[in-house]
Amino acid sequence: MILGKVVGTVVATCKDEKLIGNRLMIVQEVDLDNELIRQYTVAVDSVGAGIGEIVLTAGGSSARYTEATKGKPVDAAIVAIVDTVEINGEIIYQK
């Protein structure tokens, strides 16, 4: 899984019919110092994430294991909205 921040959305009116009704979000990767990395992915939102939220994404075939993405042409999915990140007893992110 990858830790990232939702920084935008993608609107595609012409798409595979299996993607109709799914929100496509742009997620920018975050390092363990809570700094944004210049690495982006477009992920199907399976949990109702919003712009600015820190999320976990699953990629590859694992992205198709959510109820929202089963049997769909998906390579990345937002699978969790993060509340807290703690490393070595120190909270580095708190929602």
Q: Domain 2-94, what fold?
A: OB fold (Dihydrolipoamide Acetyltransferase, E2P) (2.40.50)
**What pLDDT does 34 receive?**
86
**What pLDDT does 51 receive?**
97
Domain boundaries, the chain: 2-94
For the segment 63-91, what is each residue's pLDDT rounded down to a tens digit? Answer: 999 988 999 999 999 999 999 999 999 99
pLDDT at 93 over 90: yes
Residue type, 51: I
Q: Tokens representing 75?
A: 């390579």
HSE-up of residue 59 (Cα within 13 Å, Cβ side): 10
Mean pLDDT, residues 34-39:
93
Residue type, 75: D
Q: Check: CB of residue 6 under 8 Å from CB of residue 31.
A: no
pLDDT at 12 over 90: yes
pTM of the entire predicted model: 0.92
Three-state SS at 44: strand
Q: How buried is residue 51: exposed, middle or buried, by Cβ count under 10 Å (0-12/13-18/19+)?
A: exposed
Q: Check: CB of residue 7 under 8 Å from CB of residue 28.
A: yes
